[in-house]
Amino acid sequence: MDQFSETTSVSWLSRLKDSIIGVLIGLLLILACTVGLFWNEGRAVTTARSLEEGAGLVVHVSSATRDAANEGKLVHLTGPVETDGALSDLAFAVSATGVRLIRRVEMFQWQEDSTSETRSKLGGGEETVTTYTYSRDWSDTPADSARFRKPEGHGNPPMTLRSRTIAAPQARLGAFTLGQPVLDLIDGDRPLPLDATQLQRSRAAYGGGKKVSLIDDRLYLGADPESPAIGDYRIAYEIVPLGPVSIIGRQSGDTLTPYPTKAGDRLLIVTRGDVPADEMFAAEQAANAVLGWVLRAVGLIFLFVGFMLVMRPMAVAADIVPMLGTLVQFGHALIAFCLALLLGASTIALAWFFYRPLLAIGILVAGVVLAAGILYLRRRKTGTLPPPAGMPA
């Protein structure tokens, strides 16, 4: 590992010009986040209603036979997945029976990391010290050493071997044929053990000119696994095994396809194991709720960033005196946080009135009643309410 540092300076006028451009970016970001938050509420409602609709329509069927009476209906079936033959990665003669065979490739290569420390200067300029650190490590993504700040002595060869997935084109579940849309939803990948016999096959199949070894269930391509060299590879395999799955989808002939709901979504749910339909719908509802909150949080974060960009020219202008600029930036962060919460909450509330009017009105009424009750009790406790009729004042 080695490193070097370089120092760059930016004038106050350059910073001010960049911050003014940032205002436009911030406004676009605020607009995009507002639209995104509104859309997310609609997406969550549509998905929730589609799942509720599906839970009321689904019909459990046997996977052993197909009933023409269920054609076009939303059906639930369980059973073991079966395929014809094994999946093979011909490059290393690795074969296994399953839904997907996954080859994961890593190359030993130079990596560049950078850290920066920025200091404000009197007069509004900035000085940035950037330290570039170079280390050798395994990565499944090629690092283009030509783009390194200091490429000399840190060259990486092209990554000619890449990760890939070999998927079964189709499979069967009893009397039903499972196409790619269903197979893509089957999860549960696990490591595929490799042995000495497999090592011999891989050595015979591989024609890349590197020595092939077997270390910790990985194929190692290079002279010495104990002392890897730049350009060496290690390759691991995973398999998504066959086994019982549960599927909810539309019966279309001998296949299962997404079911179009009146609410607007298309339902195709796949779960590993023998799982009842109500549990599958409950799990999807929970996942939908979690996704909704994650997207709300992401939207609020980017709203905060947008407001910070909009106010940045004032902070840069105040940076003529570094201490003053720091105080202004702190104040702007508080203001941006409050504005992001206000706009985000308002957008979500407006979306609820648009997509869930009855629920939104109910919550609003409940809130007003609760607030009125608290205010009444507070006034009564402090004696500001007039006494009941007939009672002495």
Q: How far apart are CA 160 and CA 142, in angstroms?
A: 9
Q: How far apart are CA 168 and CA 237, in angstroms?
A: 16
Question: pLDDT tier at 382 (50, 70, 90 boundaries)?
Answer: low
With a pLDDT cut of 70, the percent of the chain lying above it is 94
What's the pLDDT at 363?
Answer: 61
Question: pLDDT tier at 30 (50, 70, 90 boundaries)?
Answer: very high
3-state secondary structure of 115: strand
What's the pLDDT at 22?
Answer: 92
Question: pLDDT tier at 123 (50, 70, 90 boundaries)?
Answer: confident
Question: pLDDT tier at 209 (50, 70, 90 boundaries)?
Answer: confident
Question: pLDDT tier at 385 (50, 70, 90 boundaries)?
Answer: low
Average pLDDT over residues 240-255: 96
Quick check: 121 and 320 in contact, CB under 8 A? no
- Tens-place pLDDT, residues 63-72: 999 999 999 9
What's the pLDDT at 4?
Answer: 85
Q: Closest Cα to residue 367, out of 379, 381, 352, 354?
A: 352
Distances (CA, A) of 86 to 169, 200, 248, 253, 289: 11, 19, 26, 26, 39
Average pLDDT over residues 194-208: 93
How confident is the prediction for the chain on average, in pLDDT? 90
What's the pLDDT at 355?
Answer: 82
Q: Among 33-47, 125-139, 251-265, 318-332, which stretch is predicted with the lowest mean pLDDT?
A: 318-332
What's the pLDDT at 367?
Answer: 62
What's the pLDDT at 125?
Answer: 77
What's the pLDDT at 348?
Answer: 87
pLDDT score of 360 more than 80: no
Q: Alpha helices of 137-211 — where are they, by DSSP H?
A: 180-183, 196-205
- Tens-place pLDDT, residues 232-241: 999 999 999 9
Buried b / exposed e across 141-176, counting CB within 10 Å, b at 16+? eebebeebeeeeebebeebebeeeebbbeebbbbeb
- Tens-place pLDDT, residues 300-322: 999 999 999 999 888 888 877 76
Q: Among 46-60, 97-111, 181-195, 373-387, which stretch is predicted with the lowest mean pLDDT?
A: 373-387
What's the pLDDT at 7?
Answer: 85
Q: Among 86-95, 111-120, 161-170, which stretch is predicted with the lowest mean pLDDT?
A: 111-120
